[in-house]
Amino acid sequence: VVFSFCAAFLLGGIKAMVVGPVAAALMILGNVGVILVLFPAHVWWTIYSLIKTDRINAGLKLAVAIALPVLFGLWLGLGIFGSALVALGYGFFTPWISTFEAFRQESEAKKFVHGIVDGTWGTIKGSCTVVRDFADMCFHSYPVYLKELRECAQDREPLSIRLLDVPSCILVGLLGLIVDIPLYTVIALIKSPYMLFKGWQRLLHDLISREGPFLEPVCVPIAGLAILFWPLVVVGSVLLAVVSSIFVGLYGAVIVYQEKSFRRGASYVVTMVAEFDEYTNDWLYLREGTVLPK
């Protein structure tokens, strides 16, 4: 098993070095190209739909118009960053994982053939499929959604907001970004070592006791790969926490709109930090609850 694992790991690494740059480049160039080429059209379609729709009143249109530069900036920044991150992960790790999945084949000959072939051309085709689906979503699905927004039924009650609540929405949205992003980042960074070592501890325990992903012999190589790449999972979790904090913070403006209360929006911003701390404590089997205010 050890020799097979080392051989598959080496072969998967070679395939990742050969196929990974091609697949990642295709996905990055394709998705980023779609984002940049369609960005002016997205801006125009969004502004035009915002002006034409009767689904929201003038106050809410003003609030959305003020938030649009931030939303467009997030779309560009997170879209490009996310495309690059997903492309690198998919391009380099899919050939590696496909090599280990070849152990599920019945005969040794099939294991050898699939270990070499799987994750090569299929990874490149998968990158093209991702770009095609992403382009379809940006070029077809989004305009269709905006068209439905413009042509909504006239008998439906329009969404409305008082002009006096617009400054409160803006302030709470900014407060959410200022408070949630740094605190989410600090909490995620502080607890990342716990996640790293507890994950390794659990995986090694399952390896020794032949439980969990190590229950079946054919799954042992893939589970061994999980042990090696667990630090990348931890890094990805930290990045996910940082990105999610942006939307969690901005949602405070929605709370102000729904509750018509600045105080409840500000309370939501503070409470979500405590909820995140408590959730990560439970997930990592640390102390119950949280010391942060709710």
Please tell me the predicted confidence (pLDDT) of residue 237.
Answer: 94
Please tell me the predicted confidence (pLDDT) of residue 216.
Answer: 66
Please tell me the predicted confidence (pLDDT) of residue 218.
Answer: 60
Burial class (CB in 10 A: 0-12, 13-18, 19+), 184: buried
Task: Tell me the CA distances in angstroms from 136 to 17, 29, 37, 38, 108, one per residue in order.
Answer: 30, 16, 13, 11, 41
Please tell me the predicted confidence (pLDDT) of residue 153.
Answer: 54
Please tell me the predicted confidence (pLDDT) of residue 6.
Answer: 80
DSSP string over 217-234: GGGHHHHHHHHHHHHHHH
Please tell me the predicted confidence (pLDDT) of residue 136.
Answer: 96
The pTM of this model reads 0.84
What phi, psi does 86 have (nearest 5°)?
Answer: -65, -40
Per-residue pLDDT of the chain (294 residues; tens, 9 = 90+): 567 778 778 888 899 999 999 999 999 999 999 999 999 999 999 999 999 888 888 888 888 898 899 999 999 999 999 999 999 999 999 998 888 877 777 777 777 788 888 889 999 999 999 999 999 999 999 999 998 888 765 666 777 777 778 899 999 999 999 999 999 999 999 999 999 999 998 888 877 776 666 666 666 667 777 888 899 999 999 999 999 999 999 999 999 988 889 999 999 999 999 999 999 999 888 888 888 887
Please tell me the predicted confidence (pLDDT) of residue 293.
Answer: 80
CB atoms within 10 A of CB 143: 15
